[in-house]
Structure 1
Amino acid sequence: MKFLARVTIVLTVLTLASGLAFAAGQKEAASAPKKTTITWWALSQGGGGADPREALRKQIIADYQTSHPNVDINLVMLENEAFKQKVQVAVQAGNPPDIFHSWGGGVMVAYAKAGMLRDITSYVEKNIAPKIGKGPLSVYGYDGHYYGAPYDMGAVGMWYNKAIFQKAGVTVPETWDQLLSAVQRLKSAGYIPIALGAGDKWPAHFWWTYLAMRLGGEPAFKAAYDGSGSFADPTFVKAGQLLLQLRDLDPFQTGYLGATYDDEAALIGNGKAAMELMGQWAPGVQASDSSSGKGIGDDLGWFSFPAVAGGVGKNSDVLGGGNGYVIGKNAPDEALDFLNFFLSPKYDADLVKVEGVVPVVQGAESAIQGNANLEKIVNAVSKAGYFQLYYDQFLPPAVGETVKDAVVAMLAGKATPAQGAQMVQDSWKKEQGK
């Protein structure tokens, strides 16, 4: 009996111990933070080999997880075209990644309208808007709602050869009329005033777009976009008229209608032309396409597109584009927190070194100190109240192609300014009717 009593006591103790251990385990499990997984699709540099873009993003993830051990971030790096195809398939299947690359504009708006993006307006306004300018941030918004944010945003502007300007006695033009006068003086001095690769079409559409912006400002574009106005309105017709006013001065190189963008860049890089209207990437392309491989170095300058007399658009309004991320419809709150972490001055500055981005986060501009042209672009972007994404990216693809076709048709004398504007409006109406 004594033996049985002892066995009973031992079993009781073991049962109690087991119960206490189980309860402790349950309590520990209950108190342990729940794991959250985030999928992040980013663009690789392509070309194979070690990818510094991926290395930087993995480091940012590691830094974030140091203070957020309950968050797992699955990074997927994709080449540009592969990314476009893969994300389109994911969206069509109704399962977009939590964070993925975006250029903003029309494609982003289409995803938002289809319910594939998470509306993060309140989070952006509280946490991200205070450190990124209104203009670049607006590219990732639509109709008062935000779906993401940029980390890189540059401006299209006038790149010019300072040495040629000095030799021709030309000063930087601030108005359209001054630009026309500069063209005439440069021609008289024996230089090609403006290089243009209209054969690729997209470089030419910058001219018409900027003229429309200076003439009608944001209200003209919004009216055409929301249907209260039209792309055939006087603003857009007048933009074509001014473009032909420039063309009639014969400012471009011989054969510009069939020339490529590389032809355009080479003319600047080799010191043969005085100006080109191009984005922030221009210096690198000019250098690589020049015979020396170095471009024109310190002789290269930058200025904003000139003001147009009588226009309601501000000279601070900017045409441009860049890179950023949007948030998928099913993304957890942790995805927003990580995006905000990514958009820190330190990492935006690191992106300048790794990817050559034009930083948009306040404090990251220290990474481009000493580069006068980039400093001007960053300043222009940060102060832009109206930032217009390139028409061929903001508008649906079919309409964007029509814009480019219409501009080249006007330059080639195959369409009047009114006909060119109507081409765009007809394409827009057709797209809206789908």
Structure 2
Amino acid sequence: MNRFGKNLAIPLLVGSMLFGLAGCQSSSTSGSSSDSSSKKVTLTFWNIATTDPGKTAVNTVVSQWNKENPNVQIVTSVSENNAYKTKIKAAVAAGDAPDIIYSWAGGFTKPFVTAGKILPLDSYLNDGTKDKMLPGALTNVTYNDKVYGLTYNQQAGALYVNKDMFDKNDIKVPTTFDELLTAVKAFRSKGITPMAVGEKDEWPGMWYYDMIALRTAGSKLSLDALNKKTSFDNPAFASAAEKLQELVKAQAFDQGALSITRDDSVEQLTQGKIPMYFGGNFDAGTIDASPMKGKIIPVKFPSISGGSSETSDYLGGGADCLLVNAATKDKTDAVKAVKFLAQNLSSQFYLSGAGLPEWKYDNVDQSKIDPISKQIMADIVTGANASVPAWDLYLEGADAQNHQDLVAKIFGKQITPEDFTKQMQAQVGANK
């Protein structure tokens, strides 16, 4: 499984759960408003929805569009996650990209924009579209003050806590990092591994560091470093490495964490073997489909004394997005289709527990929302001042991998916090 929401092992709830897709679209996306009423238009759309719930969600929304817009038909092509990354990069470079492009906001999309391959959407968004989206929904698809895509799914990190294990062992659920260390040591003293991380896949451990850095450095300093406006060789980032090192030294994680996959680590949580796990909202469906349903709750990652005062900010933000090929022959129709797809996929992913919405969801039946997803929206996303994407989504190319590799060295006890920040600046920072 991965955090892009393409292969969560829960079925998409259809039938009574499906809200009226036509009812949630704006007049600008209806078939009657299309400029192509007298001609036949085919729009190609590449995506990664190979498994449910994403597969059913995409097929449902595309089918609804095609039904309502007989003269503007969307034809999809689906590829597996990693294969898609290679495929779309090559297609964009060669000028062979589809009309509608699935992408990841932030660093993955930026090279496409820089190369002039993506259509800027600002002039198409003055019809009330922005008012239908949640605050910050366009942040990670805005480059040089221009909007180049529409997000439909966001991520939010949560500390998943097995409340039942805490209660049975008379241990307090942590709200500060000191309390987190206390809980780790208390569980260890009882022979229970406190936390899990699938560091064989590297990005899960990176999530721990990136979240801790958000608490020590804050969102502005984190984003400034990621945007190469300031240095990673900073005491705040060294403090984050030190805090993660403290968890490792306190044996918070399995001693074999470097050889454990992400799927295996999540299984430890869903089988009730560990009391804490830092993961994403994309884990919600898996948890609710497990024997631990109702026992595991999502809470904010603990605050850190002496760190940032922004204790409500979260790791995540807009992740999955749709782009329009700048070379498409039917720009107006393609933009209308992207608006329809993004708005409806936003609600469908939220309903199924596959993601969190980027569009307002007042017309969605809240009783049908996955309970953990609903709690993450209420307790972690709502009211937050800012979010910072997982760094491998924000960084470009080799920078993302270099960051993951350096974090892995913390888990492997192969690097000091000071050397970590120095190497981050040398390998990832400005003027590397």
Instruction: Report the TM-score, using the length of structure 2 for normalisation.
Output: 0.81
Secondary structure, aligned partner of 1:193: coil
8 Å contact from structure 2 (residues 100, 325) kept in 1: yes
Q: CA RMSD in A?
A: 2.9
Hey, what's the Cα distance between the residues in 2 that align with 1:60 and 1:375?
26
Q: What is the number of residues matched between the two proteins?
A: 391
Structure of higher CA gyration radius: 1
After the TM superposition, which of the residue ranges 312-321 and 393-402 deviates more from structure 2? Answer: 312-321
Query: What is the distance in 1 between the residues matched to 2:37 and 2:257?
Result: 66
Q: Distance in 2 between matches of 1:355 and 1:280?
A: 8
Kept after mapping to 2: 8 A contact 1:318/1:388: yes
Moved more, 201-210 or 249-258: 249-258
**Counterpart-to-counterpart distance in 2, 1:377 and 1:258:** 30
1:154 corresponds to 2:152: no
1:27-426 correspondence runs (5 A): 33=38, 36-45=41-50, 52-53=56-57, 55-65=59-69, 69=71, 71-124=72-125, 127-285=128-286, 294-312=290-308, 314-320=310-316, 322-331=319-328, 332-344=331-343, 348-352=346-350, 356-363=354-361, 366=365, 369=368, 371-379=370-378, 380-426=380-426
- 2:351, 2:370 within 8 Å by CA — same for their partners in 1? no
Question: Offset of 1:192 from its aligned partner?
Answer: 1.8
Matched to 1:43, the amino acid is I
- After superposition, give the CA deviation of every residue in 1:344-401 in whole Å (9 maximum; x if it has no partner): 4x55333445683333321265356464321122233354442222112221231111
Distance 1:264 1:137 in 2: 32
SS of the residue 1:127 aligns to: coil
Determine what percentage of the aligned residue pairs are the same residue: 26
> 1:323: how far off?
2.0
CA contact (8 A) 1:192 1:252 kept: yes
- Per-residue CA deviation, residues 195-234 of structure 1 (Å, 9 max, x unaligned), is 2222322111111111111122222123223433112222
What is the rounded CA distance, in whole Å, between the counterparts of 1:100 and 1:427 in structure 2?
Answer: 30
Q: For the Cα contact (< 8 Å) 2:281–2:355, is it kept in 1?
A: no
- Once residues 313 and 368 of structure 1 are traced to their aligned partners in structure 2, the CA distance between those partners, rounded to angstroms, is 35
Residues 160 and 279 in structure 2, CA contact (< 8 A), matched pair in contact too: yes
CA distance in 2: counterparts of 1:118 and 1:177, whole angstroms: 48
Q: Deviations over 1:42-88 (max 9, x none)?
A: 223159xx95345313323224416xx4x343333333344323322
SS in 1 for 2:85: helix
Which amino acid is 2:341 matched to?
Answer: F
User: What's the CA shift for 1:34?
Assistant: 5.4
Q: Which runs of 5+ in 1 are unaligned?
A: 1-30, 289-293
Q: Which has the higher helix share?
A: 1
Native 8 Å contact 2:61 2:345 kept in 1: no
Runs of 4+ in structure 1 off by over 6 angstroms are: none
Task: Return the alpha-carbon distance in structure 2 between the equivalents of residues 313 and 147 of structure 1.
Answer: 32
CA, structure 1 residues 98+302, in 2 after alignment: closer, same or farther (shift >3 Å)? same
Change (3 A) 1:102 1:269: same
Q: Is the 8 A contact 1:402 1:423 kept in 2?
A: no
Q: Using the TM superposition, give the Cα deviation of residue 308 of structure 1 relative to its aligned residue in structure 2, in angstroms.
A: 1.8
Q: SS at the partner of 1:153? A: strand
2:138 is paired with a residue of what secondary structure?
Answer: helix
| Cα distance, 1:126–1:264 mapped onto 2, change above 3 Å | same
- In 1, distance between residues paired with 2:400 and 2:236? 18
Query: 1:19 maps to which residue?
Result: none
Letter in 1 for 2:403: V
Question: 2:312 and 2:228 mapped to 1: Cα distance?
Answer: 26
Shift, 1:402, TM fit:
1.4
| Correspondence for 1:11 | none
What is the Cα deviation at residue 262 of structure 1?
2.7
SS at match of 1:307: coil
Rounded Cα–Cα distance in structure 2 between residues aligned with 1:276 and 1:337: 40
Inter-CA distance 361–177: structure 2 relative to 1 (3 Å threshold): same
Contact 1:218 1:313 in 2 (8 A): no
> 1:24 matched to which residue of 2?
none
Contact conserved, 1:157 with 1:305, CA < 8 A, in 2? yes
Whether the 8 Å contact between 2:66 and 2:74 is mirrored in structure 1 is no
1:55–1:388 CA distance, 2 compared to 1 (3 A): same
Worse overlay, 239-248 or 217-226: 217-226
- The 2-side partners of 1:128 and 1:175 are apart by 39
Deviates more, 1:108-117 or 1:143-152: 143-152
Which structure 2 residue ranges, 5 or more long, are not aligned? 1-35
2:231–2:429 contact (8 Å) kept in structure 1: no
Pairwise CA distance, 1:413: 2.0
